[in-house]
Amino acid sequence: MAHPVESRHLDHSPTRVFFLPLAVYFMGHIFIRILRGGALELDEAEQLIFSQWLLPGYSSQPPLYTWLQFVFVKIFGKSVLAVSLLKNALLFLAYTFLFFGARKVYGKVDLARIVALSPFFILQISWGAQRDLTHSVLLFATESATFFAIVGLLVNRSIPYYGLLGLFLGLGFLSKASFGLFSISFIIALATTKEGHLTLLNKRSLSSLAIVLLVTLPYDVWAFSHIDIAARSVHKLHLFGQGEIYRVLGKLFVSCIAVLSPFFLVFFLIFGKALSRPKRSSEINPLYFPLLRYFPILLGLLVILVAVFDVTRFKNRWLAPLLVIVPVAAFQYLNTKNVSAQMIRRFTLALGIIAIGILSIMGDGVLKFVENLKWLQYRW
């Protein structure tokens, strides 16, 4: 089990071993995407069209991704570079926030590295993000930033951290509609513990609420006056369908298993001998119970959506961003004293295999593109 969250115990050894390979990986994706050329995917093309204008709202999804795309288009033009650079910059930020949050929790850079990169095993994120995800990528980034702010608050209940929490929550609500499920689940999980309860009920939390309202105000006004457009994302869940509740719940559980099984397979194979429950309260850090309770609470909310609101459809790509915290939470079950350097190397190797595999698959399209160029040159 990780030691309590205390800033004075942090390992301040160099972190370039984390950032340099990560930056190279995402720059590789940008390079491959530019070389591959070709048409944009559906969501990407939609964002490129919307980004011609800066408006308070565009469609059924909140506008933050389009606002960011607007900035990148102004700088790099309407190009594949503008699309790919934004997406990979957001992914880099997502893993960066997870790393800094995990470092505060675990106090060890080597362990924080693999904790932060564990969502790589959620293929709908690591692979799907490079194909046709836009708002889900931004959702992942804002979730990671919110996680970092919450960890910071549990270390130090200061105004800056409450301000950051409000900012990241506001940006999260502007990223994708399903951010509400993430934030509600995490806040409920926090409220079930003494530390979290004190953090949430602190009068400084009013500053967080004020910032959330301020950040989301332009979109809130637009959504209220265009309620028919803003509510369209709800229909994607197939509300008021006639599906059988047990069949839908079964699909929900199967989807969760499908999303998380690659991670847990590798996790148990490598860290099985290091698993343990804390024996003393001194071994429990303030995030232990909130992290472990996040998934059951999220699952409970999803079940309520099915049972009460008759939601009949859950896509893996829709669920995946909501589940990225689950791999991070799984490391709470480890006794860090029993985590050997060999275990960390093996997990890092597994991450490397996933990363190289994804780059290879994406690069295969580049090879085919180059071959086509050679063929055209020969024909000419």
- pLDDT reported for residue 85: 97
Q: Which residues contact 203 (CB under 8 A, 6 or more apart)?
A: none
- pLDDT reported for residue 24: 96
Using one digit for the tens of pLDDT, what is the confidence trace for 111-160?
A: 999 999 999 999 999 998 988 889 999 999 999 999 999 999 998 899 99
- pLDDT reported for residue 4: 45
- pLDDT reported for residue 305: 81
Using one digit for the tens of pLDDT, what is the confidence trace for 204-213?
A: 999 999 999 9
Residue 293: both structure tokens together: 């309770």
- pLDDT reported for residue 303: 87
- pLDDT reported for residue 366: 53
Q: What angle do CA 231, 233, 237 make, to 5 degrees?
A: 115
Distance between CA atoms of residues 75 and 65, nearest Å: 16
State how far Cα 186 lies from the chain centre. Answer: 14
- Burial (CB < 10 A; 0-12, 13-18, 19+), residue 315, is exposed
Residue 366: both structure tokens together: 């580049």
Regions of the chain short of the pLDDT cut 70 = 1-15, 38, 230-243, 278-284, 309-314, 364-380
- pLDDT reported for residue 368: 54
> What crossing angle do the helices spanning 194-201 and 205-225 adopt, rounded to 10°?
70
- pLDDT reported for residue 322: 95
Residue 210: both structure tokens together: 């004020």
Distance between CA atoms of residues 255 and 168, nearest Å: 28
- pLDDT reported for residue 23: 96
Q: Which residues contact 38 (CB under 8 A, 6 or more apart)?
A: 365, 369
